[in-house]
Structure 1
Amino acid sequence: MDIKALTSPAPQRLSEAEIADLHALYAEELRRFLWGVVGEASLVQDIIQITFRKLVEVGHETQAESRKAWLFQVAYREALAQRRRSATQKKVLETLHEDPRRNEDGLPVDPLVAQETADSVRQAIGELSPELQQVLRMRIYEDKTFAQIAEELDIPLGTALGRMRNAMIKLRGKLAWIERER
């Protein structure tokens, strides 16, 4: 074990004043940068919140002279992750919103098969935990942003995003299993 590591004090977290100063200096510039990457105001705001939350958590481990670059790198990576999640969610939502009276070839589907599919989706949603169901319904049926969901449920934004991601993964698995059974 390194004796220096044992005797040197752990870096102190950034103070609220330091974080507020960094926010005042870079938030608007980050907002403009992120607008070019994701192009959606609610996502931009969510990403800025996530970026500054990470600054609170680990910003003290960064060098003061490189914090601006660090903030932009964290924001960019989060923006790319958000775009990937949005694309996945869009695919799932399109699948859920497809006309149940037509198959993927545009041919009419038997109404009994359509009803069975709708029942399968309802059943799969019903098997999710109440927390996952709640976020899923708020996002899909009430068309709320993740920031709104987090605020209404009084949970961190990352928790709301994580619950939606978990719900989508579990639904995809459950619905794939149901399709294989047919």
Structure 2
Amino acid sequence: MTSPFEHRLTEAEIAALYQEHGEELRRFLWGVVADWNQVQDIIQTTFRKLVEVGHETQPDSRKAWLFQVAYREALAHRRKQGTHKRVLDRLLESQPEDSTIEDDPLVREEMTATVREAIQQLSPDLQQVLRMRIYEDKTFAQIAEELDIPLGTALGRMRNAMLKLRGKLAWTQRDA
């Protein structure tokens, strides 16, 4: 016997849920994190989870489920920010008062060149998603729509690009 919730939600169902609840979620999340970039990222994460497990929810409780997932993601974001701030504060306390290496224009220029070179080594698909997200500040939904690819593919390409860049940049730092 199969459950009525075993089929994955269709793109049309997900788009309808986004259309119906997206703006309300944005306003809600603004009250929690007060940063539009983070609000967009949290909404994308929330709808990615809807794509993955939304079919396991009751249709009449999906709005509540979306808000609950978004709220949990927002709280996780706030916890990460607090941890990040504490780590930065400790690093700043341990640094000498004079200028840091990143303040040196030559070092900054070399770092920029290294990152550009690492980006150029990525496949064209990964480069395109990376540039659209970082330099054009587009959401993953906008990227997916413009490239005519599923949202999950856009998210996956960005994740792959970041993993490959981390690997390439870590390798160049070990050589330095």
Q: Structure 2 length as normaliser, TM-score?
A: 0.60
In structure 2, the residue matched to 1:106 is 103
Q: 2:102, 2:108 within 8 Å by CA — same for their partners in 1?
A: no
Q: Where do residues 19-98 of structure 1 align in structure 2 (5 Å cutoff)?
A: 24=20, 26-41=21-36, 44=39, 47-48=42-43, 51=46, 54-55=49-50, 58-63=53-58, 66-79=61-74
In structure 2, the residue matched to 1:153 is 147
In structure 1, the residue matched to 2:126 is 132
Aligned length: 156
Q: Percent identity?
A: 69
Shift of 1:175: 1.0
Q: Which protein is bigger by CA-based radius of gyration?
A: 1
State how far apart, in whole Å, the 1-side matches of 2:47 and 2:134 are: 27
State how far apart, in whole Å, the 2-side matches of 1:156 and 1:29 are: 24
CA RMSD of aligned residues (A): 4.2
1:10 and 2:3 matched: yes
Shift of 1:133: 0.7
Q: 1:30, 1:72 within 8 Å by CA — same for their partners in 2?
A: yes
Shift of 1:141: 3.1
Shift of 1:137: 1.8
Q: 1:46, 1:157 within 8 Å by CA — same for their partners in 2?
A: no
Shift of 1:160: 2.1
Query: Pick from 97, 112, 136: which aligns with 1:142?
Result: 136
Shift of 1:127: 1.8
State how far apart, in whole Å, the 2-side matches of 1:178 and 1:40 are: 33
Q: Structure 1 length as normaliser, TM-score?
A: 0.58
Which secondary structure does the structure 2 equivalent of 1:144 belong to? coil
State how far apart, in whole Å, the 2-side matches of 1:107 and 1:47 are: 35
